Amino acid sequence: MSTPRRDETRGRRSAVGLFLALLFGLAISPAARGQAAGESSRTTDQGDRTPNAIARRWFQDAKLGMFVHWGVYSLLGKGEWVMNNDKIPIAEYQKLPPTFNPTKFDAEAWVKLAKSAGARYITITTKHHDGFCMFDSKLTDYDIVDATPYGKDPIKALADACHKNGIKLFFYYSLLDWRHPDYYPRGKTGQHAGREEKGDWKKYVEYYQGQVRELCANYGEIGGLWFDGWWDNPDADWDLEGTYKLIHELQPGALVGNNHHVAPFPGEDFQIFEQDLPGKNSAGFNKAEVTAELPLETCLTMNRSWGYNATDDAFKSVEEIVHALLGAAGRGANLLLNVGPKPDGTIPAESVERLQGVGRWLEANGKTVYETRRGPIPPTDWGVSTAREGRGGEAPTVYLHVLKADAAEIELPEEFAKFLVMPLGKPSPLKLETKAGAVQLVLPADARTPVDTILVATPPAPTDDAVPVPLE
Ligand code: H79
């Protein structure tokens, strides 16, 4: 083995033990420790067999979801905020549903597309801020079954297709409602809807909780609820506690997330970041601290819009999306990647191409992403790390994802000095040089691969004469 033996005694003591310590943040630099310590026992404790704990682990393993923003706003092709942005009063906006007839909607095709992308769950808008319900609600006629010529419940079709294909389904639900007369006192947005200046907030809470009950009761097993819009009226009494209790009672394996941009509330199962990786705040509203207690999720648009936007062609490349997925995974988060279907129910070709591109990448490299946790090396200038626990006698593994295309040398923490590091799928160890307490890994051009150079790092064998067996 060509790696330098800097400290034989320490190396022999227990390389695997050192690795485990490294993996769980016990024997590593303070920065890395901060990162690894984030894995709390609540989310990784394999012994916790409650449906909620099992679901959280499933979520952390799943890594990629497909987000769907679809509603009557899709007809206008200007995104899901069009009612607010174009100051369309309800009297005008409600002319949209009678023209909404997505005859090309094919639930099975959507689910298969999500699968081909490597996504393990779908999160779909059941009601957005405009208040229009894309599911069959008995509590309003302002829904797709009662108010459109389509007359069918696409959420039901999607739930059935998800169950059939082993994909979990989460429901996006906007707490904010620009149309409901009882959404009063009003919040920050939806000022031009033309509503009367009155309303009974308590009745609104009953309405939305009733709809949450419908979503939990009528679609079989669901992955969870994904709330948004709380920030419109943060001082109102939303009775989130009651809402979360209802969900957890009706669906013990369902996870609750709320995109409220503040620190998680009790009863929430994962923390959401919008258009930013956890810990970043390019969007301006991701100021909440990253919690160490919960699984994390970053939701991201593929272009600049959530709902279908006919003129927005600022699509990210497959490479950028894969980097976002890895940036999330390296921070312990999932990526929820958005598509905005057209009013006819089809998904834009640009999105289909990108989803399939991501899927091809995951097909080849998914082992270094799915079922991993963030690795012992925090995100750095060259890339990120993920880690896989050793199971069934397998050695634990750290995956180094070198995202910087021209990186010729990368620096690793000194604990890696004795590791065997090899490019994924190429059984030729790379050279490690220890310099002033840090390890430099030499990355020749022929060891690099496009999009992501994945290096498999395994701890040294426990004895000097044993030959380390690479996992890949
Ligand atoms: O559904 C998609 C968007 O329509 C919705 N969330 C994603 C998933 C969304 N709503 N608003 N935004 C995204 C932008 C965020 C605006 C905010 Fe604010 C900045 C919320 C809080 C600070 C604007 C200013 C709204 C309230 C104050």
452 lines ligand 1 (CB under 6 A): no
Distance 228 CA to ligand 1 centre (A): 8
Contacts with 61 (C-beta within 8 Å, 6 or more apart), sequence order: 370, 371
CA–CA gap between residue 201 and residue 429 (Å, rounded): 65
Distance 25 CA to ligand 1 centre (A): 35
Mutational pocket test of ligand 1: of 174, 177, 191, 231, the residue with most ligand atoms within 8 Å of the beta carbon: 231
- Phi and psi at 256, nearest 5°, equal -110, 130
CA nearest neighbour of 366 among 85, 135, 116, 106? 116
User: Six-digit token pair at 364?
Assistant: 């080849």
Distance 324 CA to ligand 1 centre (A): 20
SS3 178: coil
pLDDT digits (tens, 9 = 90+) for 168-209: 999 999 999 999 999 999 999 999 999 999 999 999 999 999
> What domains can you pick out in the chain, each with its CATH number?
8-28+376-458 (2.60.40.1180), 52-368 (3.20.20.80)
Atom of ligand 1 nearest to the CA of 67: 8
In whole angstroms, how far apart are CA 383 and each of 233, 339, 428? Answer: 38, 26, 21
Q: List the pLDDT tens digit at each of the 472 positions of the chain.
A: 333 333 333 333 334 345 545 554 433 343 443 344 333 334 546 789 999 999 999 999 999 999 999 999 999 999 999 999 999 999 999 999 999 999 999 999 999 999 999 999 999 999 999 999 999 999 999 999 999 999 999 999 999 999 999 999 999 999 999 999 999 999 999 999 999 999 999 999 999 999 999 999 999 999 999 999 999 999 999 999 999 999 999 999 999 999 999 999 999 999 999 999 999 999 999 999 999 889 999 999 999 999 999 999 999 999 999 999 999 999 999 999 999 999 999 999 999 999 999 999 999 999 999 999 999 999 999 999 999 987 777 778 999 999 999 999 999 999 999 999 999 999 899 999 998 888 999 999 999 999 999 999 998 766 545 454 444 3
pLDDT of 23 reads: 55
pLDDT of 28 reads: 37
Name the residue at shortest CA distance from atom 20 of ligand 1: 231
> How many residues comprise the chain?
472
CA–CA gap between residue 221 and residue 223 (Å, rounded): 7
CA–CA gap between residue 359 and residue 352 (Å, rounded): 10
